Structure 1
């Protein structure tokens, strides 16, 4: 009997690792990768959008290499390791005869191929899902204390990768409720919670800002069948490319022959159903469902070992997928081959176009957590994203990075500028402008809380403003406004708001202290408002994101 790991497979995985490393070196960063690189410059137990695993991967990669490979090196390693774990999960002795079929199947899955070198939160999610399932398979065969310990650590690593990991763990548990009576399974859960406790503490320290934003504050829009639900089904096709008919045919023919197979099926169908239901509320992004590629790879390969017809067609269409993806991967480096200007194109050029005009002057980008870290990565100069009420909160909201540019001369870049001191073109050819600000002062972390707004015409309402900064802020440098949003939390209109301090004569917002104001709740300027919030504009900057969205009906029933 041949070994479990035939030489051919090891050579193919080694070749794949080499190709991904070369690709990583020559491909400019995605905007999200630059954002996660920015995470890694200040290691923490959590970040605004994601848990910290992606930052840790970049920190480790940076230890070995510089530049783009210093962001992606560990992703290349984990990609090949993920495919090897998939191979280990397949028991059939026939697999030794179809190594090429396995390799083509897993590498032809479009996003699984892309995450072979890109460093995104889904990269460790895929690896730790594969490792979790492999350990779970062994745990089903023999539930030892060592395996329980390993499962606990890996479950924590899954959750440190991306919050979607709760679906992986939850659906596997749902497939085998007898685990609730297994003491070693409970031990694994306790270990996972202990390992994950630093992130829980980070969430607590940061007022659960990530959950608050994603669950309550994030804007949405009205249901659109084509973009939401139909778009979800298009994503299911895009996930597998030309092989999709035979991939899903293999899934539908797969049976729950044992507890492990049952777990794989529960995981696939559970994720598909969960996001199908979600598609009636918001647009489902393709990467949200990528985790099904791990159980699907095992289920589909087991099926094609017994089905010559499906095996033949998946091999043919898989090779076609690889040819197309190979062409596109070259296009990531050589733009003329790519059908559109992609975000890996031209970033060095627009960064250099700015730096050649301003030297080492820091740059503040209005409403762009994408351009700010990209500029800093390729220039080495501090950059900052100043977020306002027309945008969204992000890591720049909570990490105190505005202190790096406070009081300095900066170049302020806004897409709304029609002229400025500096002009450049981005990668897509759009002309943008920047203006110098000699003494940049922003106070984006001022927070507002409405104690009692009352109804329009009811008289004075109470507003509390907390100043988290150590320094006091002159009130004359601030303007107050009230932002009206629709029921989908989209900003519709902002009105100036007249406020006066409760304590007459106060002229400062004292550092590390709250100041109370009176204001009168105005009539809504929009029909059927859903929410409102009190916002502040400091030093002639645009309105900030200061307060939470407040349901309008709560204050004006």
Structure 2
């Protein structure tokens, strides 16, 4: 009877997950990855392609939310069995402890029904740890094949998968150097990963440039670091957290007997250290610590002096919090997710059958899913690049009629959009794109004593010196931006100075900026404003360096 109770509890948990996946509206990122699944490839601007492939498979079942999340809910089941197999409970009490850990941990439940790269990263992390444990024990001769597949799956899921492999293998470096099967494992994983490597080469390693350079901050945000630190210490395992972190400082617990225990210790702690360092240049996100949370649960379960009564009480407290959170997500009056669906439908009703263009990829993705319409993103100044930029260009809309939906480009027609804010609808007829202007900024020096900035730039735009008058050119500005959120501080019209020089290669521009504005400016780039549409960037973005003399 007790055995059936255990199975029944898991089935109820699985059923709850399916209901949540069916009736909870999409997160905006889920809609974005759904759009990826309509453009299958071996890579995308933000992440590797695994999540797009998974969503595409689920779409064969249905095109509703549950179809998008279908594979995620299936992986939820596999996650439990892998978690169970890694921990290998022997007694009834141990089996209930495994179920309690799994059911009462926030990230295991969250990524058990939503579809993001972290969802597949979670599955392949557990699969990898399952095979790694066998590989390090050297009990099965063909384990390296499963380990190779799991490593490739990690790398295809999210680039954080490299950290999972690095941190777990680091304590066994000398042991692995003498293992022929280890070299064979890495070679097979490399072969499986070749399609994505070719994609990276073909696209100039754009995901790495985005994550390692374009997301860099101009200053350290200590509130974001505190958020990561507090989240990593307490939010990953909720009520278990004080109990968990106490075990990390116990000499008896740190000196584990098996190689796999050492891997789990490294994976439990190193992601926190790594991302705290990275947060000095990037704004951190709590889900980055997902790979560490998985290891922490395994570490917690293996703690020898665990107080079972306290353990189940903490698990029950966690479970209550998660049940309340799930109810809130399902409530139309309390969950913000319903706004994602309703706003997209309201905009769809307002624009009728027109071709629709948005300025944010999140808005375009939600509209595409819920209105079941094709759309595109016209990326304005403060919005980052996305995969939409790879699929279509502005020139593709030459001669077409469309409506531009924007929170900021005001017009006479509007509709209540996301977060109950007015979204303005601008009708564009027989659109004529501008020439393909492009500039490269090489240096920018600030002379604060004279309130000037001297900028070196080169031009690759023949239209600049083929125009008869600089006023025939579209509006071209030097855009000075600052913090927070890269807000525009100052605009300088540079059409005349560019046209007069007829530059083909290089030019120096001297700009006078008021001292109060110059002090707020952190970076500069060239912006172009087409007729009837907002400004967008046509150059790289560089920092403004202060004169040292």
User: Contact between 1:529 and 1:552, CA under 8 Å: does it hold in 2?
Assistant: yes
1: CA distance, partners of 2:150 / 2:80: 17
1:223 and 1:556, CA in 2 relative to 1: closer, same or farther beyond 3 A?
Answer: closer
Does residue 389 (structure 1) correspond to residue 381 (structure 2)? The answer is yes
Determine which of 335, 349, 353 is the counterpart of 1:356: 349
How far apart are 1:348 and its partner, in Å? Answer: 3.1
1:217-248 per-residue CA deviation (whole Å, 9 max, x = no partner) reads 22525334333235522443122223322232
1:403 and 1:377, CA in 2 relative to 1: closer, same or farther beyond 3 A?
Answer: farther
1:291-328 per-residue CA deviation (whole Å, 9 max, x = no partner) reads 1222122211122xx4452x222312222222222222
User: Contact between 1:75 and 1:117, CA under 8 Å: does it hold in 2?
Assistant: yes
* SS of residue in 2 equivalent to 1:522: strand
1:553 and 1:276, CA in 2 relative to 1: closer, same or farther beyond 3 A?
Answer: closer
How far apart are 1:171 and its partner, in Å? Answer: 0.6
1:226 and 1:355, CA in 2 relative to 1: closer, same or farther beyond 3 A?
Answer: closer
Matches within 5 A, 1:86-105: 86-91=83-88, 93-94=90-91, 96-105=92-101
Matches within 5 A, 1:177-326: 177=173, 178-229=175-226, 231-253=228-250, 254-255=253-254, 256-303=256-303, 306-307=304-305, 309=307, 311-326=308-323
1: CA distance, partners of 2:40 / 2:461: 27
1: CA distance, partners of 2:184 / 2:169: 14
How far apart are 1:488 and its partner, in Å? Answer: 9.0
1:379 and 1:405, CA in 2 relative to 1: closer, same or farther beyond 3 A?
Answer: farther
1:144-166 per-residue CA deviation (whole Å, 9 max, x = no partner) reads 66322322222121011111111
2: CA distance, partners of 1:420 / 1:375: 21
Does residue 464 (structure 1) correspond to residue 459 (structure 2)? The answer is yes
Matches within 5 A, 1:40-119: 40-91=37-88, 93-94=90-91, 96-119=92-115
1:542 and 1:245, CA in 2 relative to 1: closer, same or farther beyond 3 A?
Answer: same
Residue 138 of structure 1 is matched in structure 2 by 134
1:460 and 1:139, CA in 2 relative to 1: closer, same or farther beyond 3 A?
Answer: closer
1:508-550 per-residue CA deviation (whole Å, 9 max, x = no partner) reads xxxxxxx757563434551385543233333343332332223
- Larger deviation: 85-94 or 260-269? 85-94
Residue 543 of structure 1 is matched in structure 2 by 535
Residue 470 of structure 1 is matched in structure 2 by none
How far apart are 1:364 and its partner, in Å? Answer: 1.4
Determine which of 15, 32, 35 is the counterpart of 1:35: 32
* SS of residue in 1 equivalent to 2:114: coil
Residue 509 of structure 1 is matched in structure 2 by none
1:540 and 1:417, CA in 2 relative to 1: closer, same or farther beyond 3 A?
Answer: closer
* SS of residue in 1 equivalent to 2:460: strand
How far apart are 1:430 and its partner, in Å? Answer: 2.1
User: Contact between 1:57 and 1:74, CA under 8 Å: does it hold in 2?
Assistant: yes
How far apart are 1:53 and its partner, in Å? Answer: 0.9
User: Contact between 2:444 and 2:543, CA under 8 Å: does it hold in 1?
Assistant: no
1:420 and 1:204, CA in 2 relative to 1: closer, same or farther beyond 3 A?
Answer: farther
1:169-228 per-residue CA deviation (whole Å, 9 max, x = no partner) reads 111111211212222111211222222222222222222222222222225253343332
1: CA distance, partners of 2:548 / 2:480: 13
* SS of residue in 1 equivalent to 2:420: coil
How far apart are 1:444 and its partner, in Å? Answer: 10
1: CA distance, partners of 2:481 / 2:340: 35
2: CA distance, partners of 1:72 / 1:401: 30
1: CA distance, partners of 2:45 / 2:147: 27
Matches within 5 A, 1:368-517: 368-400=360-392, 402=394, 405-421=397-413, 423-441=414-432, 447-450=438-441, 463-465=458-460, 476=472, 478-486=474-482, 490-491=486-487, 492-498=489-495, 500=498
- Larger deviation: 481-490 or 167-176? 481-490
Does residue 520 (structure 1) correspond to residue 509 (structure 2)? The answer is yes
- Larger deviation: 451-460 or 154-163? 451-460
List gaps (5 residues or longer) in structure 2: 463-468
Total equivalences in the alignment: 528
Q: What is the TM-score with the length of structure 2 in the denominator?
A: 0.86
1:455 and 1:329, CA in 2 relative to 1: closer, same or farther beyond 3 A?
Answer: closer
1:13 and 1:170, CA in 2 relative to 1: closer, same or farther beyond 3 A?
Answer: same
How far apart are 1:119 and its partner, in Å? Answer: 0.4
* RMSD (Å) for aligned C-alpha atoms: 3.3
2: CA distance, partners of 1:403 / 1:187: 48
1:38-68 per-residue CA deviation (whole Å, 9 max, x = no partner) reads 1111011111111111111101111122210
How far apart are 1:360 and its partner, in Å? Answer: 1.4
1:352 and 1:450, CA in 2 relative to 1: closer, same or farther beyond 3 A?
Answer: closer
